[in-house]
Structure 1
Amino acid sequence: MIGRLNHVAIVVPDLPEAVARYRDALGAEVEPPQDLPEHGVRVVFVTLPNTKVELLEPLGEGSPVEGFLGKNASGGIHHICYEVDDILAARDRLVGAGARVLGGGEPRIGAHGKPVLFLHPKDFNGTLIELEQA
């Protein structure tokens, strides 16, 4: 059911500093920042030959990643994202197998302009999983 790894998301306390570190120290190609107010985050994608790294920082009050930074002041890995061919079929299969879909279970449009869902980390060995329509 799951396809390729789309990205690994890292929450950071200072997005410009993290971008500079990836770009200057690691020599990575970084995309311009995107504000995603519907998700409460500002994101930058770091392009790698085989996947991407998504750097996230809170955008505004009540961001879902604020609590993560409250517990992990220097940031850290937040979630991993897998591609699926049919996000609704994937959701239905997962729910049928007992997995919990966060946010009411309906896909929302993610940073790549495609439908996404998040799966409860307690159902996947403590890892928050994002599914993205391929």
Structure 2
Amino acid sequence: MKLGRLNHIGVATPSIADSIVFYRDVMGATKIHEPFDLESQGVKVCFVDTPAHSTGSGLSDSGGTQIELVEPLPGNTSIASFLEKNPAGGQHHMCYEVPDIHAAKAEFEAMGKRVLGEPRIGAHGTLIFFVHPRDMGGVLTEIMETPKDEAHLSN
């Protein structure tokens, strides 16, 4: 498995509205997308763009990493239980891109990593799956098929 682009860092929050204020007023975010419900996963999601990194050579990478704010919808138990342990919220997961989600799933399983469920459509409209944090250095890891267009920057 070759490490792909870090697409986003998921941050669980009890209030996306309050988190938007924080990222805008404290962190200086200038591009905050409209929050939306991802009912299939029981969450409300809002993406905050970070600027593309300048390499100092006049070149920049393909875009900044996003922050994915995640608030539980009624009935969601995974994010809600995370917030019970971390009432102010906090880093929930990290998401890396791969070119082929099914090949990545097979590779993780061949390594004995616990894949949590089958690939499903995530917040960027592409296939995702999660790998158990105990198998990933203590970090819940989302694996996402690289968007075929600029969805990773425009959602």
- Aligned to 2:22, the other structure's residue is in SS state helix
CA contact (8 A) 1:120 1:128 kept: yes
Residue 108 (structure 2) aligned to one of 94, 105, 108: 94
Match of 1:133 in 2: 145
Q: Which amino acid aligns with 1:21?
A: F
Give how far 1:24 is off: 2.2
Gaps of 5+ in 1: none
Q: TM-score, normalised by structure 2?
A: 0.82
- Aligned to 1:93, the other structure's residue is in SS state helix
Gaps of 5+ in 2: 52-63, 147-155
Q: Bigger radius of gyration, 1 or 2?
A: 2
Please tell me the root mean square deviation across aligned C-alpha atoms, in Å.
0.9
CA contact (8 A) 1:115 1:133 kept: yes
Distance 1:98 1:78 in 2: 22
Distance 1:80 1:25 in 2: 22
Distance 2:96 2:19 in 1: 23
Match of 2:33 in 1: 31
- Equivalences for residues 1-134 of structure 1 within 5 A: 1-28=2-29, 29-49=31-51, 50-103=64-117, 106-134=118-146
Give how far 1:35 is off: 0.3
Q: Which amino acid aligns with 1:61?
A: G
Distance 2:87 2:136 in 1: 24
Distance 1:14 1:7 in 2: 19
Percent identity of the aligned residues? Answer: 47
Number of corresponding residues: 132
CA displacement 1:39-63 (0-9 Å, x = unmatched): 1110110001221001111111234
Give how far 1:123 is off: 0.2
Match of 2:153 in 1: none
- Aligned to 1:102, the other structure's residue is in SS state strand
* Greater than 4 Å deviation, 4+ residue runs: none
**Structure (1 or 2) with the greater strand fraction:** 1
CA contact (8 A) 1:83 1:132 kept: yes
Q: TM-score, normalised by structure 1?
A: 0.95
